């Protein structure tokens, strides 16, 4: 089907679905689903890790975005954004016989924000301590768009498992063109993040878009409530939450870390300096963030060696690494309002010298605690920490006063993964 005919079909379906009652629309759309529980053996789902995989991803994105008018042509024939340089970004792919035929990117909320946060209000999520990521750039190779159920739904299942088991988030956000909302709302049970339309969305070359979200903390129960009575080929609860697919490859994890960085110094140089000018075109703020997220001694030549040095110094060697470590902290002195038995803390990023934690308890600046942190399966690290700052929304910055060998091993291992890239296994 030509792009013009597809556009006409989309416009007609949008008018039809908009006119239907919600229940009728949901039933109709769900009836059209045909799930494939056993995709072919030569179709694999994994994280993009290698130079070849990443090059195919960025080229696939380029041709899709240019064809849809969502970006302008360029000489590199790649779509690469500053978000792809972040160690907290993951790129998911479907690979058929060694060829990347579908992809999507997952941008966890961090120093850059996420693309959606530039146009939509995410303050209520931040104030509630909700960890979220934006799902972006879902793209399928043109050659496979007529028969794509095992590809698209396979990639969405992989996304569901990856974000619920490995990526450490509570909520997924998407920014989409309005006609796509019926797919996400009726099938995947997304809800509107804001009830408004944004025109001239910069991240997609001025497209008209809306924002939607899915709370992963309640998604399984919602899928079960909606889909349990559907036959297997339409039962997204069984497909997403119960069925195991052997074609999936997931990250190796020794510790409770939640990022899978792949941009080694060599890959960073190739994609962001040699093939494109993305690093050079970043703002001073963006470059300073990138420089602060990667160890100086490994990335100095790449980040400062191409005329793109930031005016903002990045002498801090205390690189912060995203984590999802439950902890218990016990006050070292009598503290008003805190039980001597301690309170729970979720450790959200770590370093040798400090950590960021989230707690529903009210802590005060300067208070000292003994912390037991679950850094891996049946593995605890023991620290003495002091509150240095607080956000007012449950986030606290701690200085580490004392640490043990388990903590030092965790941070060393995770820093090494930055320069060596992630590894996956068939799961």
| pLDDT tens digits, one per residue of 206-222 | 889 999 999 999 999 99
Cα–Cα distance measured from residue 400 to residue 383, given in angstroms and rounded to the nearest whole number:
7
Question: According to the model, what pLDDT value does residue 312 have?
Answer: 46
CA distances from 229 to 36, 218, 223, 292, 358 (A): 18, 19, 11, 51, 39
3.30.413.10, 3.40.630.30, 3.40.50.720, 3.40.50.300: which CATH number matches 3-252? 3.40.630.30
Per-residue pLDDT tens, the chain, 427 aa: give them. Answer: 566 776 677 777 778 888 889 999 999 999 999 999 999 999 999 999 999 999 999 999 999 999 988 899 999 999 999 999 999 999 999 999 999 999 999 999 998 899 999 999 999 999 999 999 999 999 999 999 876 778 999 999 999 999 999 999 999 999 999 989 999 999 999 999 999 999 989 898 888 999 999 999 999 999 999 999 999 999 999 999 999 999 999 998 889 999 999 999 999 999 999 999 999 999 999 988 898 888 767 788 888 765 444 444 434 446 788 999 999 999 998 877 788 899 999 999 998 899 999 999 999 999 999 999 999 999 999 999 999 999 888 999 999 999 999 999 999 998 888 777 766 665 5
337 three-state secondary structure: coil
Question: According to the model, what pLDDT value does residue 316 have?
Answer: 44
Question: According to the model, what pLDDT value does residue 202 have?
Answer: 87
Local structure of residue 257 (DSSP, 8 states): B
- Domain boundaries of the chain, sorted by first residue: 3-252, 265-317, 321-417
CA dihedral 271, 275, 278, 279 (to 10 degrees): 70
Q: What is the pTM of this model?
A: 0.93
- Is the fold of 3-252 the same as that of 321-417? no
Question: According to the model, what pLDDT value does residue 315 have?
Answer: 41
Question: Check: CATH 3.30.70.20 for 321-417?
Answer: no
- Among candidate residues 105, 135, 111, the one with its CA nearest the CA of residue 260: 105
Cβ proximity of 160 and 104 under 8 Å: no
CA 302 to chain centre: 25
User: Could you tell me which residues are beta bridge partners of residue 257?
Assistant: 323
Question: According to the model, what pLDDT value does residue 305 have?
Answer: 65
Question: According to the model, what pLDDT value does residue 318 have?
Answer: 60
Question: According to the model, what pLDDT value does residue 317 have?
Answer: 46
Cα–Cα distance measured from residue 95 to residue 129, given in angstroms and rounded to the nearest whole number:
35
Question: According to the model, what pLDDT value does residue 68 have?
Answer: 86
SS3 of 115-134:
HHHHCCCCHHHHHCCCCEEE
């Amino acid at each position: 089907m030509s792009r013009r005919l597809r556009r006409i079909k989309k416009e007609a379906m949008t008018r039809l679905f908009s006119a239907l009652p919600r229940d009728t629309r949901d039933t109709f759309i769900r009836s059209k689903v045909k799930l494939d529980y056993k995709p072919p053996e030569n179709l694999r789902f994994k994280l993009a890790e290698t130079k070849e995989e990443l090059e195919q991803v960025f080229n696939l994105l380029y041709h899709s975005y240019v064809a849809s008018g969502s970006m302008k042509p360029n000489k590199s024939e790649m779509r690469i954004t500053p978000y792809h340089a972040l160690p907290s970004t993951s790129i998911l792919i479907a690979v058929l016989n060694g060829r990347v035929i579908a992809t999507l990117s997952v941008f966890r909320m961090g120093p850059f924000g996420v693309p959606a946060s530039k146009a939509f209000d995410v303050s209520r999520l931040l104030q509630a301590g909700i960890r979220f990521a934006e799902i972006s750039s879902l793209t399928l190779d043109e050659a496979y768009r007529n028969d794509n159920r095992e590809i698209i739904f396979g990639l969405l299942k992989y996304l569901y498992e990856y974000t619920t088991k490995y990526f450490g988030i509570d909520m997924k956000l998407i920014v989409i063109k309005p006609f796509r909302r019926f797919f996400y709302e009726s099938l995947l049970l997304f809800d509107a993040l804001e009830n408004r339309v944004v025109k001239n969305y910069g991240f997609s070359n001025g497209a008209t878009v809306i924002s939607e979200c899915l709370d992963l903390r309640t998604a399984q129960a919602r899928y079960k409530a909606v889909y349990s009575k559907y036959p297997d080929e339409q039962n997204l609860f069984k497909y997403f939450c119960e069925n195991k697919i052997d074609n999936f490859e997931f990250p190796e994890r020794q510790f409770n870390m939640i990022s899978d960085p792949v941009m080694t110094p060599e890959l960073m140089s190739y994609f962001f300096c040699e093939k494109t000018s993305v690093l050079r075109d970043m703002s001073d703020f963006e470059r300073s963030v990138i420089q602060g997220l990667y160890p100086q001694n490994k990335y100095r030549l790449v980040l400062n060696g191409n005329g793109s040095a930031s005016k903002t110094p990045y002498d801090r060697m205390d690189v912060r690494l995203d984590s999802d470590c439950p902890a218990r902290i016990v006050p070292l002195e009598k503290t008003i309002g805190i039980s001597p038995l301690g309170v729970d803390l979720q450790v959200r990023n770590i370093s040798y010298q400090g950590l960021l934690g989230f707690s529903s308890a009210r802590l005060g600046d300067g208070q000292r605690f003994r912390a037991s942190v679950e850094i891996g399966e049946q593995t605890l690290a023991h620290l003495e920490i002091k509150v240095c700052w607080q956000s007012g929304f449950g986030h606290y910055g701690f200085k580490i006063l004392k640490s043990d060998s388990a903590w030092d091993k965790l941070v060393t291992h995770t820093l090494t993964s930055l320069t060596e890239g992630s590894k996956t296994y068939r799961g």
